[in-house]
Structure 1
């Protein structure tokens, strides 16, 4: 028992020290109304549950001490079986707490729904997000620019993220500003967010999607409206590096550039083994494709700016994965059904 207590205390101390030495207490340090509301909801739930946890721990210690073998004054009741008072306490209090938690969960689920627009006097900024193979692509449809692994938006302005994936399922997450929302191929999810003040916030993928998913990190810059407009103008003019000297400036993001952005999803040793063991045409084709893509990344893709974007690129990515349902197959199926109905009408 003593060893267990010492182990728990040691781990708690280490966690506290690590947090104090550069840790990020995101839950207690939110910078937007959505994240703040979620934080308050979470802390309220924790406090309510502590109303059961703390008394239970104290009573467990007190009971052990009171009814120890050496305490001859403790009541000994071997035939005791039931207490209405105890039943009311151990069932009534948890039921009340669960009812309160259920109400808070219902209220919070609607109030902080990621699809719910944020009320503001300012018009929202729309940003289309694409989870690409081990990187994030941000398209600004109104400004007609795009970025990789960096997103900028004005402070105190609602941001409407429209999210999809050009890869496997992923999860878009900026902890200090909002909750996480999944990015899925062939689907469009949404996340409404607002930053209370200027700052640089950490964004990343919170869903495992392959060997390189740990490199899916980006920075979210909340800037003044003037700085945002200057940045947009610089990127459109091909001078985005004047704002971020570490970024790479490119002319246009189109389907060809999008295909070139894909990273490899195998390690160097796996690719070498595939090439060595490839005998059939199919195996050789897979090995050549793996060699062309290269190994999975070991560091995030550099921040990249695009002066222009191919029109409707975001919608085109979604349609690519929906072609089997709404493309030629769907049209042919609809034509066949129409012919069947027409034949049936003639026969009648």
Structure 2
């Protein structure tokens, strides 16, 4: 009995430490209506399930104590076989809870559908996100600027993210603002978020995508309307470092510049293996000329302008034979219907 109590206490202590007791529990510290709603749904589901879990644990301990071998006063009914009351409780309560959870799931799936625009008096700010090789590239089509590994937006303004990938499949996720959604090559997904208060929120990829996966993180800055306008003007003027001295300011983000962001061929370990297993001098030379993936996140970079339809062209290069048309050569010359490549239809 003593060993059991010690084991339970040890596991409870470990669980508290692993869940970050007293730390930054971002999923339960949401700063936007979407994150708050999803967190509320999660906690409601946990509370409902505890209505079964807690009584079950208490009864298991109580039955073990009451019917222990040393208790000679415990009831002994060797012919007992059925109790209608017990059957109603053990089947009825779970059925009711499952019914409530099913309704909450249906309601929450529609209420917090990532494709559903948020209700607001303000017009949404569109941000196009591209999952590049272990970094995030962002385009502001209305402001005609671009960034790498950083976004800024005014608080209390709906954010309309259009997301794709120019690399492997990733998952766009700002935990304190709302749920995640996948970024896939040749497809466009959508996500609507909103920040209720100023702050700096961590953004990550929630889908493992290779050796440089740990570098796929960015910072999302929620600022005032005036601060956002000031930042946009500074970036457009080529002076974004006046807002963020640690950033790098560049000119135009176009196809050529986007290609330079693909900084690496293999991990250092993979290149070493290729060199060791090379069977010809040519194979060895090719392996030695490979660049290894960086071991630190790509620095925050600002672009004062963006090539027109760059986001659409990234999608279309994977859809070159879609419906028999070659979009890759003409994506910059005419407007393409990107919605054919979306993973779902926007409401």
Normalized against structure 1, the TM-score is what? Answer: 0.89
Q: Does 1:114 align with 2:111?
A: no
1:145 to 2:145 alignment: yes
Let me know the Cα RMSD of the aligned residues.
2.0
Q: Deviations over 1:152-177 (max 9, x none)?
A: 10000000000000011100000000
Question: 1:280 Cα deviation (Å)?
Answer: 5.9
Q: Which residue of the partner structure matches residue 38 of structure 1? A: 38
Give, in angstroms, the shift of residue 329 of structure 1. 7.4
Secondary structure of the 1:167 match is coil
Deviation at 1:283, TM superposition (A): 4.4
Instruction: List per-residue Cα deviations over 1:108-137 (Å, max 9, x = no partner).
Output: 000000000001000000000000010001
Match of 2:98 in 1: 98
SS at match of 2:160: strand
Greater Cα shift, 11-20 or 276-285 = 276-285
Report the 3-state secondary structure (helix = DSSP H, G, I; strand = E; otherwise coil) of the residue aligned with 2:317. helix
Cα deviations across residues 211-267 of structure 1 (Å, max 9, x unaligned)? 111110100000000000000000000000000000011101111111110132522
Cα deviation 1:32-72 (Å, max 9, x = unaligned): 00000001000000000000000000000010011111111
Q: Give the aligned partner of residue 161 of structure 2.
A: 161
Task: Look up the SS of the partner of 1:55 in the other structure.
Answer: helix
Cα drift, residue 2 of structure 1: 4.1
Q: Indicate how the Cα distance of structure 1 residues 245 and 12 shifts in structure 2: closer, same or farther if over 3 A, else same.
A: farther
Asked whether the 8 Å contact 1:138–1:151 carries over to 2, the reply is: yes
Q: Report the CA distance between 1:73 and its aligned residue.
A: 1.1
* Aligned partner of 2:316 among 315, 319, 325: 319
Q: Distance between the aligned counterparts of 2:8 and 2:70, measured in 1?
A: 28
Give the corresponding residue for 1:196. Answer: 196
Provide closer, same or farther for how the CA distance between residues 309 and 284 of structure 1 changes in structure 2, counting only shifts above 3 A.
Answer: farther
Q: TM-score, normalised by structure 2?
A: 0.89
User: 1:286 Cα deviation (Å)?
Assistant: 5.9
Structure 2 counterparts to residues 130-279 of structure 1, below 5 A = 130-264=130-264, 266-279=266-279
**1:304 has 2:301 as partner:** yes
Partner Cα separation in structure 2 for residue 303 and residue 68 of structure 1: 65
Which residue does the alignment assign to 1:344?
Answer: none
Q: Structure 1 residues 72 and 276 mapped into 2: Cα distance closer, same or farther (>3 Å)? A: closer
Q: Which runs of 5+ in 1 are unaligned?
A: 331-348
Q: What is the number of equivalent residue pairs in this alignment?
A: 326
The match for 1:340 is: none
Partner in structure 2 of residue 24 of structure 1: 24
Look up the match of 1:81: 81
| Cα distance, 1:68–1:7 mapped onto 2, change above 3 Å | closer
* Alpha-carbon distance change, 165 to 2 in structure 1, aligned in 2, over 3 angstroms: farther
Name the structure 2 match of 1:341. none
Distance 1:318 1:132 in 2: 12
- CA shift for structure 1 position 11: 4.0
Q: How big is the shift at 1:79?
A: 1.7
Higher helix share: 1
Is the 1:241–1:248 contact (alpha carbons within 8 Å) kept by the matching residues of 2?
yes
1:197 counterpart SS class? coil
> In structure 1, how many angstroms separate the alpha carbons of the residues matched to 2:301 and 2:9?
46
Aligned in 2, Cα 1:304/1:3: closer, same or farther, shift over 3 Å? farther
CA distance in structure 1 between the partners assigned to 2:202 and 2:213 by the alignment: 15
CA distance 1:75–1:20, shift in 2 (3 Å): closer
1:49 aligns with 2:49: yes
Q: Which has the larger radius of gyration?
A: 1
Aligned partner of 2:68 in structure 1 is: 68
Q: Could you list the runs of 5+ residues in structure 2 that have no partner in the other structure?
A: 328-347
Displacement after TM superposition at 1:281 (Å): 9.4
SS at match of 2:96: helix
